[in-house]
Amino acid sequence: SWSGAFRRNWQLYSLAILPLLFFAVFRYAPMIGNVIAFRKFEPGGSVLGEEWVGLRYVNLFLNDPTFWNVFTNTAILGGLTLLFCFPLPIVLALLLNEVRNRGLKRFLQSVSYLPHFLSIVVVAGIVMQTLAIDGPVNQLVRAFGDDPVAFMQKPEWFRTIYISSEIWQTVGWGTILYLAALTTIDEQLYEAARIDGAGRWRQIWHVTLPGIRPTAVTLLILNIGTFMAVGFEKVLLLYNPLTYPTADVISTYLYRMGVESSNFSYAAAIGLFEAIIGLTLILSANLISRRAVGTSLW
């Protein structure tokens, strides 16, 4: 029984106390604060708001053109991040798996992992210095006889800059789970494929990709669940008022409305709306995955 297992292994179960406390205090307890999305909150007053206002703040942001522009930017950036940053780790893992020189493989892995360990602030600083008017990129532009471009002040460049930096920072680290999944594939399957006359591409298509499909589907579901939660820190560090038309996302809009403008109830309503969309996406992706490919989170 569970009680007997707990008595035998209580030392191991005790290790879960701190993680459970963390989630209880920092993940579940703050959910109570969502009530201010339906109540008028005033700084210095009641933590749960002063009076009930119903869907007033929901109607405000639903009828706010600025919010829908921010929502569109979030959807586009989230979609581009999913489009590029999800499949590229799979491709890189497959390429690394084909490297037979162990020393070269370790070197390539180390180089690809390194950007992950840089803080967001450092990454943003590197991006801004690289794309500055007198930075390396504009020096190359001048070398080819063109005028320098103010990349960080051009709204049309922001999405390219953000996605490129995201790829550089996350793709290498994302290969770890796929490389681990590749080690679990039975070598006899490759041997059987070679006997049947399959080349390297056929082996990858018929053996390798099906072998890592459960891992890929699980990560895809998790990524879809965070589709709307585009990286707040990087966007906040890279954007400026000139790039708001394409750079402003829900998380940064919430920061300005809630923290800078002290409109906490309005920000809470938008945050709750974003959370509902994320929950809907992850439930839908899990259901479709379970019915289509037989793999799901639950």
User: What pLDDT, on a 0 to 100 scale, did the predictor assign at position 226?
Assistant: 79
Asked if residue 166 lies in contact with residue 85, where contact means CB atoms within 8 angstroms, the answer is: yes
Cβ contacts of 36 within 8 Å, gap of 6 or more: 48, 49, 264, 265, 268
Angle, to 10 degrees, between the axis of helix 65-85 and the axis of helix 209-225?
160
- pTM given for the model: 0.86
Q: What is the pLDDT of residue 234?
A: 92
Which pLDDT score is estimated for 245? 92
Give the chain's residues under pLDDT 50.
none
State the pLDDT at residue 100. 85
pLDDT at residue 161, as a whole number: 94
Residue 41's pLDDT is what?
A: 87
pLDDT at position 72 is 93
What pLDDT, on a 0 to 100 scale, did the predictor assign at position 247?
92
CA distance 189 to 120: 42
Gap between the Cα atoms of 294 and 171, Å rounded: 26
